[in-house]
Structure 1
């Protein structure tokens, strides 16, 4: 079997005692064994910290527990902190070159997840040396007890994992963070993740698409657990009929879509940070996307449709 270099698994935790043991077991059962789980608790009030500490005591060479400072950062802030943490301590952690897996506390990984994603990442890095690279996979959707809900997370959301170009990613994130593997070049380019980023994984995908490359594996390498306490959760995609009553009602409603406001803020922030390095076409698309911050719902939807096609 091929020998792989050490990889960091970034695992923020928060009130996850119900499921975190199963996730840790699935990480420790990977075919790639040289993994270090870098974890930080975000202020849990249950027994999550004790569960993690018990695993760390039993396998100290597989865990690096970041001492919490009492702050509750939320999922995006927690991942951002851990990414910066391992980047600054990559030598100490034996992570040169640095490659990072993002991990949610309540999922279950296929035993070959790390191996398959590393193989794909190495191919990208071989073809495009020195550039930011991100690999992600499809997932299956399961209930709290792991009963199947949907065979494909992306199809369940009405997404195409191969649509990884910047123009598409500005408006729709196809990269699910808990399935993603990142290289050091991407972290250096993307960090710090700004407050206006909708989520850390969306920001990372934008940077990878703009300055590097994204690889997609259609295999379902993660069981995405759907339960009452998911931060976002999986919702089944329901295509709207063009002339349905609800569509016409939405066209004439007074309130613009807050989701598109957030997309506009993120696009504006991305253009402000990287504009001088982007192509004229990408700057134009981002500039138009930032205009989605309009008080007219109808104008917002028209502009959105024009930009999407």
Structure 2
């Protein structure tokens, strides 16, 4: 009764908070339609209230109201980029990511002290400084070593005994050494103001910002300003010269960055550590002389946002005999501009005329040095036809859509896929619908160089896709599929792909009947992970939507088994590790009861380690925690726990269970699995000569505790049978090759994007 009373008060608060009563009722109606009955909606609301409080309940209600409004009158957000991405973040003392400051030097001794003084005088303190020298012939090294001694606490040196052959070799080497979340390549002959880092770091509070750059004044050898930034910005980004901004890389490339490099030099920029960016291993890029920085930026920011601040200054030194001036007079400069054009075609969705404007600008440079009567010589160096041929087909821009950054297979799989796409150099952005509060450990699973978007209103999804140049949006949750379809109703150029993880076959008939016509109208391709996913859909529907099976996969990673002693577990004990959301249908209580009963039949002590959070964790922990039943809550490093255990354990009776990722995690950790015979688990455990584990049958989606206890006790006490299971693990895990999986997804994206992409002549 008390729970019902609290729920009634909550419903009244939510209704009162709504601007009009009808949208609130529409949201409630949509919730009832989706979950199937008012009783189920009330139960769901009560669980949300218990775990997330009133804030969580209000958030869910707001989302339902937004979705209901979109269903009645689907429209688009028509605001500015500032409204789409929010204002430039304010400084926050609690936000202090580590910055790696890289100083690549070659024969710049006359300028080094001013450069280094401007670095060590920064008001932002969380930095490491990496001083490089590329076999200088002047006294650069003595100066660098002097500063390294004076600032030994945060400074390292890396000196080459043989010249590397180019500055981008130095960049790639230094990025391997850098440990910071953010990177500043501070060229050795430039300098800056003391607030440079403090001003730019704040931009990265927006998790989609990949790079931020500052105002640059061009100075001569003596440090006298010869050209201010305003002239450059007025020419390339009119209206933005004197204001801070955050814009999408796609918009900036099509507005200006595809024509001229808008970042004057790398000293003016701070960027997220690019990690294993494929470009860094490209020998052709490393050998470039002038345009390598432009190409680097184009790779780095793709799919994300870029910030600009006029509130601090970088001073870019121009030498009459410097590399930049000399290279612009050589033919190689124009050949490199053709390489830039090739990369633009390979990486970006370009509007009409962008490349022609790029070539026209290059020709103007050429004519300023060579005259207007040498066009054939220029054409031999820079050809758009040659650039197009070299670029080849472009993979589309992908928006990976997550229901929430929380534990669960359907929630973490899109993170895995986004990471794999990024590793292969694809343009991928991640949109978190934030239907539940973010679990920090799950957030950390997403690569730092994948732009993360979190909108303050779902109605902005269409505008986000347009501004990012998105061509394929990929969702992984029935609710997300439906919401995305609503908000992309007026974005026919965005193709929608969904992956089925088991929800549709569990849907209430009314909810499925409502969603199916929307899928017919809006969804372009469906990927499924288990044969059971096909049940709700007719053969004709499957044929029209090109249903494609792609098996789940996870990448191998370093494993550091947890020390059993930290959990009070003996080396000779038998350990089962169960990892899942703590839902009733995942079999937590049955696992506890079966292990307790198995212990009575076992000569070995049997432990059960339970990892995950949810209602069953809260309900069972106070009652069942003991010296052999361990409730650990959420853990991001689950393979370390599987590796500590003898076997994975998944006694699931969840009707939507399809191809659970935790089975793959256990196999990658080298451990067989005891699991219910449900979904694709039997096929997942198939080895060369048997199963990499043991299966038990469900009876009408219920678990026979005594039968499961017999299985557990038998495996725990039969070393020969256990050895056979473990021998099959290497053969079973071969099925889950992430490279195979991601290539298949790339093929799907390419097919659906090509079918819907308008013809454009760059």
Q: Same fold (TM over 0.5)?
A: yes
Q: Retained in 2: the 8 A contact 1:12–1:105?
A: yes
Q: Report deviation, 1:80.
A: 1.8
1:80 to 167, 172, 176: 172
Higher helix share: 2
Separation in 2, partners of 1:233, 1:157: 22
Alignment of 1:151-162 (within 5 A): 151-152=228-229, 155=232, 158-160=235-237
Once the two structures are superposed, residues 126-184 of structure 1 have per-residue CA deviations (whole angstroms, 9 ceiling, x without a partner) of xx3xxx71111220111211112122176189433779434453442212311111113
Could you say which residue in structure 2 is the equivalent of 1:34? 126
Q: Retained in 1: the 8 A contact 2:279–2:299?
A: no
Once the two structures are superposed, residues 233-274 of structure 1 have per-residue CA deviations (whole angstroms, 9 ceiling, x without a partner) of 599xxx99xxxxx79x74873123577459939972895974
Question: Against the structure 1 CA distance between its residues 39 and 233, is the aligned structure 2 distance closer, same or farther, given a 3 Å change threshold?
Answer: farther
The 3-state SS of whatever aligns with 1:19 is helix
Could you say which residue in structure 2 is the equivalent of 1:172? 260
Could you say which residue in structure 1 is the equivalent of 2:334? none
Q: Report deviation, 1:279.
A: 4.5
Separation in 1, partners of 2:203, 2:221: 30
For the pair 1:140 / 2:263, whether they are aligned, the reply is no
* Structure possessing the higher relative contact order (Cα contacts under 8 Å, 6 or more residues apart): 1
Could you say which residue in structure 2 is the equivalent of 1:2? 93
Q: What is the aligned residue count?
A: 259
Once the two structures are superposed, residues 166-218 of structure 1 have per-residue CA deviations (whole angstroms, 9 ceiling, x without a partner) of 4453442212311111113x343454252444544322321244222211223
Separation in 2, partners of 1:69, 1:270: 41
Question: Against the structure 1 CA distance between its residues 254 and 218, is the aligned structure 2 distance closer, same or farther, given a 3 Å change threshold?
Answer: same
Could you say which residue in structure 2 is the equivalent of 1:264? 387
Separation in 2, partners of 1:146, 1:65: 27
The 3-state SS of whatever aligns with 1:254 is helix
Alignment of 1:175-190 (within 5 A): 175=263, 176-184=265-273, 186-189=274-277
Alignment of 1:7-86 (within 5 A): 7-86=99-178
Q: Report deviation, 1:2.
A: 2.1
Alignment of 1:285-296 (within 5 A): none
Q: Quick check: 204-213 or 12-21, which moved more?
A: 204-213
Q: Report deviation, 1:5.
A: 3.2
Q: Which has the larger radius of gyration?
A: 2
The 3-state SS of whatever aligns with 2:148 is helix
Separation in 2, partners of 1:113, 1:66: 24
The 3-state SS of whatever aligns with 2:153 is helix
Once the two structures are superposed, residues 257-297 of structure 1 have per-residue CA deviations (whole angstroms, 9 ceiling, x without a partner) of 5774599399728959746868499xxxxxxxxxxxxxxxx
Question: Against the structure 1 CA distance between its residues 258 and 209, is the aligned structure 2 distance closer, same or farther, given a 3 Å change threshold?
Answer: farther
Separation in 1, partners of 2:193, 2:393: 34
Could you say which residue in structure 2 is the equivalent of 1:115? 198
Could you say which residue in structure 2 is the equivalent of 1:211? 303
The 3-state SS of whatever aligns with 2:200 is helix
Q: Retained in 2: the 8 A contact 1:109–1:221?
A: yes
Question: Against the structure 1 CA distance between its residues 55 and 9, is the aligned structure 2 distance closer, same or farther, given a 3 Å change threshold?
Answer: same
Q: Retained in 1: the 8 A contact 2:189–2:317?
A: yes
Separation in 1, partners of 2:157, 2:228: 34
Could you say which residue in structure 2 is the equivalent of 1:230? 322
The 3-state SS of whatever aligns with 2:184 is strand
Question: Against the structure 1 CA distance between its residues 115 and 154, is the aligned structure 2 distance closer, same or farther, given a 3 Å change threshold?
Answer: farther
Structure 1 gaps of 5+ residues are: 241-245, 282-305
Q: Report deviation, 1:224.
A: 1.1
The 3-state SS of whatever aligns with 2:162 is coil
Question: Against the structure 1 CA distance between its residues 233 and 63, is the aligned structure 2 distance closer, same or farther, given a 3 Å change threshold?
Answer: farther
The 3-state SS of whatever aligns with 2:323 is coil
